[in-house]
Amino acid sequence: MNDLWNQIELVSEWLSASAQWHGDDGIPHRLLQHLHYSGLSLLFAALIGLAFGLLVGHTGRGGFLVASLANIARAVPTIGLILLVVTVAGLGVTPVLVALTALAIPPILVNTFEGIRGVDADAKDAAQGMGMTGWGVLWRVEAPMALPLILLGLRTAAIQIVATATIAAYPGLGGLGRYIVDGLARNDYELVIGGTVVVVVLAVVVQLVFALLRRLVVSRGLLGSSRPS
Amino acid sequence: MITFEGVTKRYPDGTVALDDVSLECPTGRITVFVGTSGGGKTTALRTINRMVEPTGGRVLIDGRDVLERKSSELRRGIGYVIQHAGLFPHRTIEDNIATVPYLLRWNRKKARDTAHELMERVGLEPGMAKRYPFQLSGGQQQRVGVARALAADPPIMLMDEPFSAVDPVVRHELQEEFLRLQAELHKTIVFVTHDIDEAIKLGDRIAVFRTGGRLVQVASPEDILARPADDFVAGFIGHDRGIRRLSFIPATDAPLTERSVLAADAPVADARAAGDEWTLVIDADRRPLGWASAEVLPASGTVGDARLAPIGHTFDIEGDSVRAALDAAILSPSGRAVGVDGAGRLVGVADQADLSATITAAVAAEAAEAEAVSAGAAAGAAADGADPKDAGSGDRPAAGADGGGG
Amino acid sequence: MEIDWGWIGEHVPDLTDRGVIHLRLSLLPVVFGLVISLPLGVLCRRFGWLYPPTLTIANVLYAIPSLALYMVFIQYTGVNASTVMIPLTLYSLSVLVPNVVDGLGSVPDPVRQAATAMGFGTLRRLVQVELPIAVPVVIAGVRVASVSSISLVSVGQLIGQGGLGYDIIRGFQLDFPTQILAGSLLIIVLALVVDAILVLVQRLLTPWARARGRTA
């Protein structure tokens, strides 16, 4: 217990030091960097993942390919991918963005595909029977009904990106991972644990944002039947 | 005998599923619980094996309160069949059937032998023993469900809409076989259905439940049709209950004649002499061949030379009811029904007027009987099922009362 | 990018050793996770109110970056295998608990009812009927958890416990892409082999579920 109390004290001291709130190594700047890498990667991944997921789910062709691709992608060690890209292409924001985007596509793609594919066949049938075109069915029926799963995919991707962006500090980029990596290198325990706390808070905030988004965007008719996730 | 004594089931939220239900389900008979959804019929069924425990009253099996017995032991002695069979997807057919024997710690060989025997009994190929439920059709799964319920030879069977989820043709088959099995096994059966036709076809006694868990009438199928206790029951059994009642008047009562019946080798002149528009042509074995219209009779030769109109369907005077006879008459080109014996040989022909006279007489006799009963019995017993005809419900028409419909 | 095949040829024994360590580091946590998830899932299923908070906790844990979680545990365990395995065990819960709960939920209601009506007690029903029927869904969860765990372990190399992650970090430090690639590809291969083995295990355990795979 004593141990824990010491840690809390340490962290709060670190957080309240004015140095943490100003300059290039301050929390606001590091947080912005972190959000910059994460946000851009998520955006690219979402554009690609959603487009292909909707297409494959709607046409029903290529499902097996998507599933196998996602399976392999899940097995790719994130740190290996980032370090390989940086080693080959040199240090920079772009290689890291490419790696993060590549990691985030599979969960979005698979969940979108599964969501669209899982839409009740009767609902699609009825939509077609009422004269909707293929696009109409996709936008008015399939996409809204698949929304809970699509959001789940986006959330998984966001969490992975935010977590993996921490590792981007290792080859020398900025972001919140800097505190942990630098702290480890300098044996500065205060720095490590302080950075960890900030990263954990960010991860929880991302979770909350998606929980809120789910409430706002998904039709209440769909939330009733699906379990909370 | 299963006895309900003032059984009430009230849920904590105040809804009443069963409201003071009292009735008896006699040993070796089929008692059908029928009614609208929410009428409490399934709840009533489930109080028997303690899947539901009443909040008031008692359920007795052979005089003993079911609550006195340990629920798992009680249930192992009661067969249970439900709508979607509820087969264990991870067990083979034989192991599904042997479930209760395994629970009762029979040795494996005996349990499997019993399972194989039962498979044959319910009409399943022995080759299916090692298959899994997903490899069977709905009807076959339901047969497995029945076999599984019979495995430990329980004296009581509870069946909750067992045939509701299969198509009408298969349902008809399953019902027939169910009656055949029951004729051999004489189980005490409680059967829940929302289908009044099924209730009438299968039940020795019918208990009609109404929304709010109230039991409104218990009687034999004939009595329910003849004398529904109130408007609810009358509405439930439908406006064609008059026609349905004909199912309970045996065809043996129908007057049969041999008018205008000729052998195939009879000369055409005989047919003309009779002067009827239609002549029934039979072969040397008295099997009906077809109807010959006066218009198609050849100028000379035998009646068998004429182009015959098909009989349609005949009725079996031993097994069928007046309803089947009437149906045969309506569908026949001549307007007359052909009655045959079990071997398909002609017994006689009845026309619609004859049948109608039979019906009038039968209904009048029944009404007179009912009057005598109600004059004799003081009052009130009607709903509680002291049914004078119950003991004789063996004279219920045999399976297939609906004639050749299936 | 040039691949130095000679290096790979010389280092097969080293890579094999680290591959074995890698599997141990990544799969033991899944086993522990399953040991925790089964009773937890059964409880969540039985007491419905327990599920949402359990799931939220598991999800929040999953959202914490592995590097950060390793740092937290260093304070308690020092640097050894358990520093990496405890966080990985916690991660696996976010996949395994929902799958155990869903697996038990996949038992059709008539089946559960039929079991009760034939005189199965609660425990016997759970062991003989519900858990066997839950196996396909549970194994699906074990597959996801195993593959994620195998790929995630490599980050542990930042605190010196990463199996094949060693080759990724070492290759980066030496500016030697071949080693990074060798480590990464071996990790992918290990993950896919483990996945395939689990598929096989499921086939053997649940011959009765094959129809689902076909229709799904």
Domain C-terminal end among B241, B262, B278? B241
Closest-CA distance of chain C to residue A181, Å: 9
Whether A184 sits inside 8 A of C64 (CB atoms) is no
User: How many independent structural domains does chain B possess?
Assistant: 2
| pTM across the whole model | 0.75
Q: How far apart are CA A162 and CA A35, in angstroms?
A: 8
Q: B182 and B262 in one domain? A: no
CATH topology of domain C5-204: MetI-like fold (1.10.3720)
Q: B268 and B233 in one domain? A: no
* Residue C60, amino acid: V
**Minimal Cβ distance to C65: which of A3, A74, A166:** A166
Instruction: Say if C104 is an interface residue toward chain B (CB within 8 Å).
Output: no
Q: B235 and B272 in one domain? A: no
Q: Which residues of A touch C98 (CB under 8 A)?
A: 229
Closest-CA distance of chain B to residue C192, Å: 28
Report which of A224, A227, A204, A210 is spatially closest to residue C51, judged by C-alpha positions.
A227
Residues facing residue B257 across a β-bridge? B349
Helical packing angle, C51-63 and C12-46, nearest 10°: 160
Distance of CA B274 to the CA centre of its chain: 42
Q: How far apart are CA A186 and CA A188, in angstroms?
A: 5
pLDDT the model gives residue A129: 76
If you compute the radius of gyration of chain C from its CA atoms, what whole number of angstroms results?
20
pLDDT the model gives residue A200: 83
pLDDT the model gives residue B399: 38
Beta pairing class for B261-263 and B288-293: unpaired
This model of the complex carries an ipTM of 0.84
* Residue C111, amino acid: V
Report which of A205, A228, A149 is spatially closest to residue C60, judged by C-alpha positions.
A205
Q: B124 and B210 in one domain? A: yes
- Chain segment C1-42, per-residue pLDDT in tens: 678 888 888 888 999 999 999 999 999 999 999 999 999 999
pLDDT along chain B (406 residues), means of 10: 94 91 94 87 93 93 93 89 88 93 91 93 91 90 92 93 88 91 94 91 93 91 87 81 78 81 85 83 88 82 83 83 85 86 87 82 75 58 42 40 35
pLDDT the model gives residue A93: 86
Report which of C21, C30, C29, C22 is spatially closest to residue C144, judged by C-alpha positions.
C30
Q: B302 and B200 in one domain? A: no
Closest-CA distance of chain C to residue A159, Å: 6
Closest chain B residue to the Cα of C124, Cα to Cα: B103
Distance of CA B193 to the CA centre of its chain: 12
Q: Which helix (H) or strand (E) is C109 found in, with range?
A: helix C109-117
Closest-CA distance of chain A to residue C113, Å: 22
Q: Which residues of A touch C152 (CB under 8 A)?
A: 77-78
A touches which chains (3+ CB pairs under 8 A)?
C
Q: B221 and B248 in one domain? A: no
Q: What is the DSSP string of B320-350?
A: -BHHHHHHHHHHSTTSEEEEE-TTS-EEEEE
- The residue ranges of every structural domain in chain A are 2-220
Whether C206 sits inside 8 A of B85 (CB atoms) is no
Q: Which residues of C touch B49 (CB under 8 A)?
A: 117
In this structure, are residues B200 and B236 in contact, taking their beta carbons and an 8 Å threshold? no
Closest chain B residue to the Cα of C205, Cα to Cα: B90
pLDDT the model gives residue C65: 81
Q: B344 and B236 in one domain? A: no
CATH number, residue B373 = 3.10.580.10
CATH number, residue B188 = 3.40.50.300
Distance of CA C6 to the CA centre of its chain: 34
Between positions 190 and 229 of A, the ones with CB within 8 A of C are 192-193, 195-196, 199-200, 203-204, 206-207, 227-229
Closest chain B residue to the Cα of C131, Cα to Cα: B90
Q: What is the DSSP string of C5-52?
A: HHHHHHTHHHHHHHHHHHHHHHHHHHHHHHHHHHHHHHHHHHSGGGHH
Instruction: Say if C106 is an interface residue toward chain B (CB within 8 Å).
Output: no
Mean local confidence (pLDDT), A147-158: 90
Q: B227 and B148 in one domain? A: yes
In this structure, are residues A132 and A82 in contact, taking their beta carbons and an 8 Å threshold? no
Q: B33 and B136 in one domain? A: yes
Under the banding of pLDDT at 50, 70 and 90, the label for residue C210 is low
Structural domain of B119: 2-241
Closest-CA distance of chain C to residue B184, Å: 23
CATH class held by domain A2-220: mainly alpha
* Residue A110, amino acid: V
Q: B190 and B66 in one domain? A: yes
- The residue ranges of every structural domain in chain C are 5-204
- Chain segment B182-230, per-residue pLDDT in tens: 999 999 999 999 888 899 999 999 999 988 889 999 999 988 888 888 8
C touches which chains (3+ CB pairs under 8 A)?
A, B
Domain C-terminal end among B241, B274, B298? B241
Q: Which of C111, C116, C118 to mutate to test the interface with B (most CBs of B within 10 A)?
A: C118
Strands, E, within B26-139: which ranges? 30-35, 56-61, 64-65, 78-82
